[in-house]
Structure 1
Amino acid sequence: MAHFLAFIKEKEAKLRNCYAETIHLESDEFVTMILLDSDFLIEFFMRSYRRALIIDDDPIFTQSGLGFLGIDIQDDLYLEENQLPLVILSELLDLAKTATSNGDIYEGISFMTVVHSWFSNHIYLQSIVAEDLIGVQFSKAKHLLDLIILCLHSLQPPPSGTESEFNYQNIPGEKELHRVGVQFKSGSYENPLDIKFYEGTLQILSFSLFDRTERFYRNLLIFEAMHVYPVKYFNDYVIIMSCFLVTPEDADLLIQNGIIGLGDSEKLSTVFRSLIKDCVKRSGFQYAKLVEALQSYRKLPTHGWMATLWQKHLNNPWAIISVVAAVILLLLTITQTVCSIIAL
């Protein structure tokens, strides 16, 4: 224990400088707090990574995954006020490898390794793991939230370079798009913030929205807003989703098309509108071209006519049969009339 306390003591000035506000704790109190919090987090991630470390009657983990207390801790991991510098967590784990006689459990393990494993079980962050972005961004990141934002940002296309004003009132809702024949499809996991529109189909990454998902989104959004990033990608994602999900009917459309997995449509329509309170509407909106394409598609009258035909008159097999029969009867009538005219 003394060995680890001495290690933290050496880093005290650097650690205090990691926090924006002055921490009014005596040196010994501060060092002990950092060590206890760091040890807890390392142990938490290690038990998630190596299930053999889970003890009987573990209050946090079960052999099948997180217990109820573990789920609460998972939520707290992403709170900005609970962040610890990644560098100290990484160095403490490395120190533990040399300080323990049971070094086999640490063989081939770094803090980056266990974080990589943790993210692979988080559906929203699987694309980060798949692209191996953690290895690229880990040394640059200050803490877990910063690591997530850096990885998400690195998946996005570079800024367009134009800072023209954007009219946010132009973003249509899902029900409005449905009326003009836009189809909805679940997108791939390559980029969770990527929304595509091609040949009348809007692709959005599928997700399930629980209370803890909303908290996770809010933590990312607030952290991104408070820090200097070249582009506020997550901010823009929340804005466009809040415009898509205006009513419960909008949410129902996404549920029916497999984009939203679980969730109450009444609540889903309010979640993003709640999150948008923490957003900044700015020039250089990253989905401006997408909205332009949607509006161009929406303005073509033929799309609305065809959508009305299919949704109101061809929405079941019997309706289709009736329309086909009517068309055949009309063709036969025309043919008979033409033949009668020729015979004259």
Structure 2
Amino acid sequence: MDARKHEHEVYDVSIDMEKLADSLRGELESLHPLAREYSIYRVPEATRCSHPSHFTPRMVSIGPFHHGKEELKAMEEHKKRYLKCFLQRTKVRIASFLGFIKAREAELRNCYAEAIHLGSDEFIKMVLVDAVFLIELFLKHYELDLITDEDPITDEDPIFGKSFLYDDVKLEILLLENQLPLFIPNDLFNLAKTAMFETNLYEEISFMTITCLWIRTDMIESIPIQENLLEINFPKAKHFVDLLILCLQPSQSPADSALNDRNIPSVKELHQAGVKFEPGSSKNLLDIKFNEGILEIPFLTVYDSTEHLYRNLLAFESMHYYTRHFNDYIVMMNYLVSTPKDAELLVQNKIFGLGDVEAVRTVFDNLNKGCAIDYYDFQYSGVVADLQAYCKLPWHKWKATLMQNYFSTPWASISVIAAVILLVLTFIQTVCSLIAL
């Protein structure tokens, strides 16, 4: 009896479990496939929570992550104006552009690290509107760059007509969560060029041309990049943030080595040890070098937008499993610029552009809180070891003290020389007096 009752209970549970199993199987079948090519991520909550405004667009959404948000709808109408301008220059029909995107829909969705909960039609329309917005924005910037006189574009276009709005938009184009795969605006631009009403302006340019010009003229001050690296890396870049990270790779791959002595000296300590500071001969931001008592640091001007941009670069570098070269740069600069006095010394040596030295220090300190240092594989370990060895030699400190305290100005030098001459003459007079006795 007990056995039959037990079997009956098992049978009843099995029916319930089969229903649950069907439900679970449906969820498993609807899982977003983990495509190897995904490269666009949503920033982890632990990273976002401390500075949410640095990762979240306030003006314009690009791509699906923030599409449809109420606070971003004001820009949607302007995006459609850009689409209208785009279509007026090409004979290619809008249906052809939509069909072109439809054929690549699966590839586009697989570029995102999470499922995109938009229907096919809405997704395709969103991609066209956002991709064309980028094309038109860069085209208008390109045209303005060619024109020296005042241009009517700035009067008609609220983005270019209001500098504060343009500054916000250009920064948000470089947010990690605001990305489209680069291949889609590139291919749409090429498709439009196959049948243009006017070809003279567009024959010799590409989406790469207008994109690299925009980055070089409008973003290069916040993130110095070596000549031609934008064009070299553009074909393999997944999106704009990826393009910048690729351009920031060190010019020479540092040898893997451990940071044995973890006491990285600050700029002030190095100055007191006689180290000289010069703007780097390389334009690559990460190329910090030390040779024969001279520390080379590439020139940088810190703007209000610098911290926003750098946070997105750091987030992408860590999430996409790149070697953490940019992470190590921030760590190194945070050690070097540990006080406003350190920043002031670098301003004096024309390594930092003029600005608020306290703000420079704060930016690196804030960014460093989101970084991790690997003491067993730190790209500047060789530079740090050389700096530490230089500081340990007493002669360098004595020489630095002499130069900084007694030969810092021409008048100080004259005073020291006069004092030495007086001391020598006094010594000679004393010797002569002794001999006369």
In structure 2, the partner of 1:317 is 410
In structure 2, the partner of 1:271 is 363
Output one character per residue of 1:243-265: Cα deviation in whole Å (capped at 9) or x when no partner. Answer: 01111111111111111113211
The 2-side partners of 1:233 and 1:147 are apart by: 14
Residue in structure 2 matching 1:68, options 149, 157, 164: 164
Shift of 1:3: 1.8
**Which protein is richer in helix relative to its size?**
1
- Residue 188 (structure 2) pairs with residue 89 (structure 1): no
1:72 aligns to what SS in structure 2?
Answer: helix
CA RMSD of aligned residues (A): 2.0
- Residue 211 (structure 2) pairs with residue 118 (structure 1): no
The 2-side partners of 1:98 and 1:192 are apart by: 39
In structure 2, the partner of 1:59 is 158
Verify the 8 A CA contact 2:266 2:337 in the aligned structure 1. Answer: yes
The 2-side partners of 1:159 and 1:207 are apart by: 22
Moved more, 277-286 or 71-80: 277-286
Verify the 8 A CA contact 2:257 2:382 in the aligned structure 1. Answer: no
In structure 2, the partner of 1:157 is 252
Distance 1:280 1:7, change over 3 A: same
- Residue 352 (structure 2) pairs with residue 256 (structure 1): no
Verify the 8 A CA contact 1:90 1:112 in the aligned structure 2. Answer: yes
Shift of 1:124: 4.9
Shift of 1:134: 3.0
Which ranges of structure 1 fall in alignment gaps of 5 or more residues? none
The 1-side partners of 2:362 and 2:254 are apart by: 29
The 2-side partners of 1:158 and 1:330 are apart by: 55
Verify the 8 A CA contact 1:225 1:279 in the aligned structure 2. Answer: no
The 2-side partners of 1:123 and 1:211 are apart by: 12
Verify the 8 A CA contact 2:221 2:301 in the aligned structure 1. Answer: no
Residue in structure 2 matching 1:289, options 376, 382, 385: 382
- Residue 299 (structure 2) pairs with residue 200 (structure 1): no
Shift of 1:242: 0.5
Shift of 1:156: 2.6
Distance 1:9 1:136, change over 3 A: same
Distance 1:126 1:116, change over 3 A: farther
The 2-side partners of 1:290 and 1:300 are apart by: 16
TM-score w.r.t. the length of structure 2 is 0.72
Moved more, 218-227 or 327-336: 327-336
- Residue 200 (structure 2) pairs with residue 108 (structure 1): no
1:197 aligns to what SS in structure 2?
Answer: strand
Verify the 8 A CA contact 2:222 2:306 in the aligned structure 1. Answer: no
Shift of 1:184: 1.5
Count of residue correspondences: 335
Distance 1:37 1:281, change over 3 A: same
The 2-side partners of 1:240 and 1:340 are apart by: 60
Q: List aligned pairs for 1:293-308, cutoff 5 A.
A: 293-308=386-401
1:103 aligns to what SS in structure 2?
Answer: coil
The 1-side partners of 2:166 and 2:202 are apart by: 22
Verify the 8 A CA contact 1:60 1:69 in the aligned structure 2. Answer: yes
In structure 2, the partner of 1:235 is 327
Shift of 1:115: 1.8
The 1-side partners of 2:163 and 2:195 are apart by: 30
Which ranges of structure 2 fall in alignment gaps of 5 or more residues? 1-93
1:111 alignment partner AA: F
Output one character per residue of 1:271-303: Cα deviation in whole Å (capped at 9) or x when no partner. Answer: 111101221211211111111111111111122
2:274 aligns to what SS in structure 1?
Answer: coil
Quick one: percent identity of the two aligned structures? 52
In structure 1, the partner of 2:310 is 217
Verify the 8 A CA contact 1:84 1:143 in the aligned structure 2. Answer: yes
In structure 2, the partner of 1:144 is 240
Structure number with larger C-alpha Rg = 2
Output one character per residue of 1:149-180: Cα deviation in whole Å (capped at 9) or x when no partner. Answer: 11221x431241x353x257321111111111
Verify the 8 A CA contact 1:59 1:67 in the aligned structure 2. Answer: no
The 2-side partners of 1:321 and 1:262 are apart by: 32
